[in-house]
Amino acid sequence: MHPPSRQDYISISVSGQGGGRYNNSKQWRRQSCWRKWKQLSRLQRSLILVLLFICGVVSYPLVTEHLRGLSDGVQDPNSVLRPVSPHVLPEPIQPGQPPLPEQTSQRKLSNKRGPPVFGNRHQKKGNTSDTVVENKAVDSKKEGEEEGVISWRGAVIDTGQATDGTRDGENKENSPATQKGTLSSSIKSASMLEAVQEAFLHSWKGYKDFAWGHDELRPLSKSYSEWFGLGLTLIDALDTMWIMGLKTEFEEAKAWVATELTFNKNVDVNLFESTIRILGGLLSTYHLTGDTLFLDKAKDIGSRLMPAFNTPSKIPYSDVNIGKGIAHPPRWTSDSTVAEVTSIQLEFRELSRLTQEPQYQAAVAEVMKQVHKLDGKLDGLVPMFINTNSGQFTHQGIYTLGARADSYYEYLLKQWIQGGKTEDQLLEDYVQAIEGVKKNLLQKSSPNGLTFVGEISHGQFSPKMDHLVCFLPGTLALGAHNGLPADHMDLAKELMETCYQMYIQMETGLSPEIVHFNMHQGSIRDLDVKLADRHNLLRPETVESLFYLFRFTRDHKYREWGWEILQNFNKYTKVSSGGYTSINNVRDPDYPSPRDKMESFFLGETLKYLYLLFSDDPDLISLDQYVFNTEAHPLPIWPSAA
């Protein structure tokens, strides 16, 4: 015998006479009110209606505020495993200023609801959620405020004001238009944040169970792989955990950093990869937490990487043995990759600022100075290789925004922003490069006219676009937000659409590594994927750009796109025992062919950008206070020299 359930008791019927009486008396009251209303004069009725209307208008904000408060406070004891509550971030710490104590205050967002239902992946543009009203209102804002405008080579650049006339998330958040639907969109936001947290915790479980302290999880074989042997995933994920408010996990990882992480190891590391992931990750975690453990570790790895700059040209070698203090190029060449030597600047500049030791900044500034002066560019576009002996570009003739050149462009803009928009040369090189992209690399596909960024190979245009290029919409939008021409934002939006199409046109809804666009009239589809390019490594670039586009436009379609992508990662790359895996074939939903590797940037970047995309809080890593390095580690924008 099972004990009586709740259902057994509730099945007793209470309807009948009583219920009928209640209904009758309600009906009677309604009729009597109506009679009285009809007896009033027309003037009396109009006055009452006007009074009711005024009461309604006055009480609306109070009621919605009350409802929002209720929603924030309610907790479903069965559903909330972890607080979905990002920490309140301290202000960036200035040199000489003592670190702030660890922030513990948390904001409750909401109780758990079912995941929001967005359109399926074949849903067409324009079919958006109930937040459409606020999107239109934001889009209609006028661009190009006049204050503080400077002119550079014909471009109108406003160094103090966003192209859209606002600071990051400011005004728009509080405008009457965006207040509409705030309640429902914040509920969606809470559910989406929780879904990203779950993805993170699932990844973390795999890493903890099978790869703790190692570089990367191999989720299928329940093992790990080493690249540098420095706990890469753990370090890359530190600030993500902090941002997501995962305190327990963060503390475990911090304990490992304190007791296990040592750089005194006879190991070769790649200068670029260890700078963006390890140095960048430690510096940002120091800024977010104020804990000097991370600054000390950052100084240690930063100083151990410095031998890389001891080359005849001062263009750094690609590899350093951090235990022996000896740097060298790869075995087969004395070349370095252009993107690698020009995408370590944010981190070393910040290290100099924090330590007040100028050698780090001097070394990376010298690289920028030389690259700025070099011949061999095509309208500001750089080749892919540079020689560490001669300091000249080599293997010239290929110009791409993809692999080996991508973050050169990103770091031109971001260094300018980091330094308080004072270093004109960086800005000039960036704006010129974007003009070079427009002139040489931009084309439209057929039949649907998607704007894409191709490549130039020895004078020939190639309609090939790496997924890596999808960082560009976000970078263009960041530039526009910082006063660069409004057409940068237009281009950002067009390219964002293209990057989204690279996902939804695949059978798994996940982008391949590389696509080729069709340009000839009569094409049946816009893009093709070669057999060798069908893999997906859980890369972040598209969701990174979605984050920027959403922050600056508040257009909820970007969130919906990010949500679809997260669903597809869950569907095709999630491994049940823990972790997510790269896959070989985004075109086969029945067998995407898992690769058995979870890259550290999945936790460092992809999930972090998704979390920030879904957060309603524009101050959660404000883009007016922080600049993200190319591994998604936020570093403070320096206070401008007054």
Kindly determine how many residues on this chain lie close enough to bind ligand DMJ according to the rule CB under 6 A. 8
Candidates 455, 513, 544, 599; catalytic one: 513
Does 582 participate in binding ligand DMJ (rule CB under 6 A)? Answer: no
Residue 498: CB minimum distance to ligand DMJ, A: 17
Nearest in space to 407 (alpha carbons), one of 629, 249, 143: 629
Residue 582: CB minimum distance to ligand DMJ, A: 11
Token pair, residue 78, equals 């069965």
Q: Which is nearer to ligand DMJ, 291 or 605 (CB)?
A: 605
Q: Which is nearer to ligand DMJ, 275 or 615 (CB)?
A: 275
For the segment 475-534, give every residue that binds ligand DMJ (CB under 6 A): none
Residue 544: CB minimum distance to ligand DMJ, A: 8
Q: Which is nearer to ligand DMJ, 93 or 621 (CB)?
A: 621
Residue 600: CB minimum distance to ligand DMJ, A: 8
Query: Coil, strand or helix: which one is 394?
Result: strand
Residue 601: CB minimum distance to ligand DMJ, A: 4
For residue 419, CA distances in Å to 367, 411, 424, 640 come to 17, 12, 10, 7
For residue 492, CA distances in Å to 344, 474, 477, 495, 518 come to 24, 7, 6, 5, 21
Query: Coil, strand or helix: which one is 387?
Result: strand
Candidates 236, 541, 599, 617; catalytic one: 541
Q: Which is nearer to ligand DMJ, 109 or 339 (CB)?
A: 339
Calpha distance 425→440 (Å, rounded): 22
Is 541 catalytic? The answer is: yes
Is 428 catalytic? The answer is: no
- Cβ atoms 116, 151 nearer than 8 A: no
From candidates 228, 317, 385, 601, binder to ligand DMJ by CB under 6 A: 601
Nearest in space to 418 (alpha carbons), one of 329, 354, 489, 498: 354
Is 406 catalytic? The answer is: yes
Residue 514: CB minimum distance to ligand DMJ, A: 13
Q: Is 481 left (phi over 0), alpha (psi -120 to 50) or beta?
A: alpha
Calpha distance 139→166 (Å, rounded): 12
For residue 606, CA distances in Å to 240, 471, 587 come to 10, 12, 21
Helices 424-440, 406-418: crossing angle, 10 deg rounding: 150
Does 535 participate in binding ligand DMJ (rule CB under 6 A)? Answer: no
Does 239 participate in binding ligand DMJ (rule CB under 6 A)? Answer: no
Does 540 participate in binding ligand DMJ (rule CB under 6 A)? Answer: yes
Calpha distance 591→585 (Å, rounded): 8
Is 513 catalytic? The answer is: yes
In degrees and rounded to multiples of 5, residue 318 shows phi and psi of: -75, -25
CB-based closest residue to ligand DMJ: 630
From candidates 285, 336, 585, 630, binder to ligand DMJ by CB under 6 A: 630
For the segment 388-447, give every residue that binds ligand DMJ (CB under 6 A): 407
Candidates 158, 168, 291, 406; catalytic one: 406
Q: Residues with catalytic annotation?
A: 273, 406, 513, 541
Interface contacts to ligand DMJ, rule CB under 6 A = 407, 468, 539-540, 601, 605, 630-631
